[in-house]
Each structure stands twice: as structure tokens, then as C-alpha cells.
Amino acid sequence: MVEQNVLVPVARIREFTTEILVRMGVPRDDARIATDILIAADLWGIQSHGIAHLKLYHHRIKVGHQRATTDLQIVKESPTTAVADGGNGMGQVVGFRMMNLAIDKARQFGMGMIAVRNSSHYGAAGYYAKMATDQGLIGMSVTNARPAVTPTFGAYPLLGTNPIAFGAPTDEPFPFLYDAATSIAARGKVEVAQRANKPTPAGWVIQEDGSLPTDSAQILKDMVTKQAALLPLGGPGEMMGGHKGYGLGTMVEILSSCLQSGVFLSGLTDFDAQGKPQPLRIGHAFLAINVENFLPLEEFKKSTGDLLRELRATKKVPGADRIYTAGEKEYYRAEKALAHGLEITPGLQRDLKSLQKELGLEFDLGF
């Protein structure tokens, strides 16, 4: 019976994830780190960055796009800054360690910033920002990604979806936690539309003739052949601010590559000129700011809390349910999942069982 969604206790899916990663060759301590980051995305309802990626990571490790062991090296360091090389290991392990380094530096010196080269997909950028807010600091993280988004007035994928994550502690049970691509939507959302046989909203994607296609299946084909690209936040042209999303995506690309002599744009390719698999060589940046250098943490938290509460109390337009602030929906989703279990779709059930079989892992997932 794998034809309906099932709820699985979070502790069980967490244990499973760690064991699967260990079978893939990830050292156990690293597997625990990666598990926490993957499960966090699922808890927040960002399934595109959660355990659905286990199958992809397994493939990428097998093929040689990334390594199961993470030989992370600091190549340059100062009291407030560092440049690191991720050795093309697990992006989550790189991210976790380097955000912790940024936090340590910020605790000591007020600010900490780390630029990382030769890493891999690191999951939900917001996790790293939240590592800082959990400790009463402001956190930021950005990452580049494989080409997908076009510059304004073009229709060719060059920029990654290049998310910006920013977190600030509050006096509420959850922080302000912003984590979003600098494109309107990510490729994963077009895939969701295609699986549901639904059109893609006009304006998410641009075709090389300048048109705004809606046929989800065709879009996915055209994105592979680079005849279509995701549009930056703000849409096509400059009328609705498309140049702003494009500029923010470029800012992320610069911060994620140029500070550590990394590759960028079309250089982010996981096949070499001879068509042989190679690491994607993703870059990230992590920033931590120690609030206590500016004012007492409790005062800051009260201030951010008041600010968010005022936003949420805004008069709504007719038909609107309520006003949210960033990170709030994710918090409530996580509360629900922790109480009732994580919802696993039939497709993901099949993927996890097939991984389990391939890796020879005895484990009762309950479905």
C-alpha cells in the first residue's frame, strides 16, 4: 500500500535518514548533521529541500559529482573572516561547520563572515540563518546554484536561483526567518505543476522568443535545452521590477563565488568539456552579526517582535486569511509535523524504499 500519503513519526524518519546517509558513505557524525538540515526543510514544509533529495545525493555521490566524506579546509583566515574549501563534500556539513565558524567569530569580534568554494547543494539556506538566531545572533547565508535564471532582457539560464536567507531573533517562539530564491519561483514548482497536469503561471518562465509559456511539460524540456529560463523576482523587463530580482541574484552570485576565487554562472556545470562528471563546485557565504555589540539582546528581541506583530496586525484585503511574517508559516508547520508526523507522499515512499533496497538497509519505515 504505497498509494496514499502516510504520516511517519519525525524521530523514525530522522533515524532512517541518518542510516541511509551512512550507507552512502557519509561518516556518522556528518550524517547526523545532514539529517538535521534535511529534516528541518521537511518540517518547514520545504519538501523540495528535504529527504526527497536523498535519492539525488546518492546518485551524485555514485557518479562523482560530490563526495560522501567532507574534507573541509580553511585556506585563509582572519579574526572576522575565513575562506574555506569544501572539498566537494556534503554541502550540509560544509554549511553547518562554516556557519558555526561565522558565529564563533561574531561572538568574539562582533562580526563573522565565511566564503566557501567547492561545495555542494547545501539544502535550505534558512537553516544556517536559524543557527545564528538560535544563539541570539543575526545570521545570513547565500549560495549560488546551477544556471537557471535569466538576466533581464535575456531568456537564457545563467544565474542560479540564488537564495538569500536572513534571520533575526525575536521575543516570540520563532525568529524572523527569510529564505527565498531571487527568482520568482524555483524549477521544482514547475515540476509540481507538471505532475499535477497544471499550467505554470504566466510570468514565471521566459522563452527565447520573449513569450511567457505556461505548458509545464514543455517548459521543463525547454529549460533542459536552455530555450527557456526562470525569470528573476519582478518578472520580465523592468516595468514590474525584474531588474531588481536580477540585481539581487547577481549580488548573491558575487558573494558566493568572487570572494573565494570560485566558479560562477555557466562555470557551475557538473560535466567537464569531455562530458565526464565533475563536481558542481557550488559556493556559499555565511554572515553572523552579534546583536550584543549593538544593544542588549532582550531589547533587540522585543523590538523585532513588536515590529513583526505590527506587520501581522495590518488591515487585510477582503478575502485574505491573515498577514504572516517570514518564518511563521514554517514554524507552525513544524509544530504540526512534530505532533502528528511527517507526511510522506506515495512517490517519496517509493523512492525511500528503493534507496533502502539498493543500499541494503534493514529499517521499518512503517509503510
Chain residues 204-223 in contact with a second copy, contact rule CB under 8 A: 204, 206, 208-210
Residue 186 interacts with a second copy (CB under 8 A): yes or no? no
Q: Which of 173, 196, 225, 318 binds a second copy (CB under 8 A)?
A: 318
Nearest 10 degrees: CA dihedral of 222, 155, 205, 326? 130
Nearer to a second copy, 9 or 110 (CB): 110
Residue with cell 539582546: 297
Nearer to a second copy, 235 or 279 (CB): 235
Residue 286 interacts with a second copy (CB under 8 A): yes or no? no
Q: Say if CB 83 and CB 72 are below 8 A apart.
A: no
* Binding to a second copy in span 297-316, by CB under 8 A: 299-300, 303-304, 307-308, 310-312, 314-316
Residue 241 interacts with a second copy (CB under 8 A): yes or no? yes
Backbone angles phi, psi at 54, to 5 degrees: -55, -40
Handedness of CA 51, 53, 58, 61 (dihedral sign): negative
Residue 283 interacts with a second copy (CB under 8 A): yes or no? no
Residue 178 interacts with a second copy (CB under 8 A): yes or no? yes
Nearer to a second copy, 31 or 228 (CB): 228
Cell of 187: 524549477
Residue 46 interacts with a second copy (CB under 8 A): yes or no? no
User: How far, CA to CA in Å, does 336 sit from each of 7, 145, 171, 367?
Assistant: 11, 31, 21, 20
Nearer to a second copy, 195 or 316 (CB): 316
Distance between CA atoms of residues 158 and 147, nearest Å: 4
CA distance between the termini of the chain: 7
Q: Which of 26, 34, 46, 113 binds a second copy (CB under 8 A)?
A: 113
Interface with a second copy by CB under 8 A: which range of 49-57, 93-101, 174-182, 356-364?
174-182
Residue 73 interacts with a second copy (CB under 8 A): yes or no? no
How many residues touch a second copy under the rule CB under 8 A: the total is 89
Distance between CA atoms of residues 19 and 14, nearest Å: 9
What's the min distance (Å) between Cβ of 55 and a second copy?
28
Distance between CA atoms of residues 264 and 255, nearest Å: 10
Q: Which of 18, 133, 143, 325 binds a second copy (CB under 8 A)?
A: 325
Cell of 60: 551524485
What's the min distance (Å) between Cβ of 163 and a second copy?
10
Type of residue numbered 41:
A
